Amino acid sequence: MDEPSALYELVAESGVVPEGLNLVAALTGFTDAGGAVAQLGEYLIDTLDSQIVAEFDNDALLDYRARRPIITFDEDHISDYEPQTLRLYLMTDELGQRFLFLNGYEPDFLWERFTAAVIELVQRFQVKTTTWVHAIPMPVPHTRPVNVTVSGNRVEITDALSVWRPTTQAPANVLHLVEYRLQALGHPIAGFVLLVPHYLADTEYPATTLVALESISAATGLIFPTDRLRQETRTFAAKIDEQVESNAELARLVHTLEERHDTYMEGTSLRSPLTDSDGELPSADEIADELERFLAGNRPGDDFPSGDSRP
């Protein structure tokens, strides 16, 4: 069997990465509600100082036919080729604190070897804690804060921030496996699942990025610039509110979701903010039906917050 280290190449010179840093991970996978993970990666790389530490092997991990590289066709020739990337970065937060950031695509292949490679890097750099985020669509209202479910072995984080603690089975992504293996080794790890309004799941919802940053800060003590995100979140919310005010059916949907959310948060017998009056979780088909009815109620040409794409 090939060594896990064969999956990546160390780019940074020896000694560049201090020992004992926090590791943050955000990989785009089969679900990224509100574009939370994609936006988080872009935002951190655009706003913070960074240096590539390691680069993973696309030919081993990536299904090119599922996530095709982008080329630039310049009149009569190919002038650029942009493959997907999966990298480990050394980054610096707003206060000068350094941390490691694993960002890019979720591997299509070799999950066990990839997980072993991540653990190898965690041990190589004596990582202090690992924190990761992803986002799923849920029937919750945009008029309430984006909540999180927390997994891992950091009880203080779970007790402070996790608002929904189901016992259930769900499709995994590769960072679930990384968490599972690191937890077995006793490594401090926290995974944040952002619960994103299902009718905004296909938009780039800036509130998700803001909550992701706040969750990472709570788990690591890292500080990030958020002024731009807060303004984008306010602007986005105002546009959504305009849509709700002009659509009675959508307004009823949001009001119903608000009632369920608020009742749950008040500590009633409801098992989660997602249940109906009989205490049952809505099925995926029921959620899709609600969303279809919402979309059908909008006139052609309605201006949605995400530009040309509709929720």
Q: What would the pLDDT profile of 225-284 be if each residue is shown by its tens digit? A: 999 999 999 999 999 888 888 888 888 888 888 888 888 777 633 334 444 444 444 444
Residue range(s) in the chain whose domain bears CATH number 3.40.50.10900: 4-225
Strand partners, 23: 100, 130
Contacts of residue 195, Cβ cutoff 8 Å, sequence gap at least 6: 135, 136, 138, 140, 146, 147, 148, 149, 163, 164, 273
CATH class of 4-225: alpha beta
pLDDT average, residue stretch 16-41: 94
pLDDT score recorded for residue 289: 53
Q: What is the pTM of this model?
A: 0.82
pLDDT score recorded for residue 105: 96
pLDDT tens column, 137-160:
998 889 888 999 999 999 999 999
User: HSE on the CB side for 32, CA within 13 Å?
Assistant: 19
pLDDT score recorded for residue 299: 40
Which 3 state secondary structure label does DSSP give 28? strand
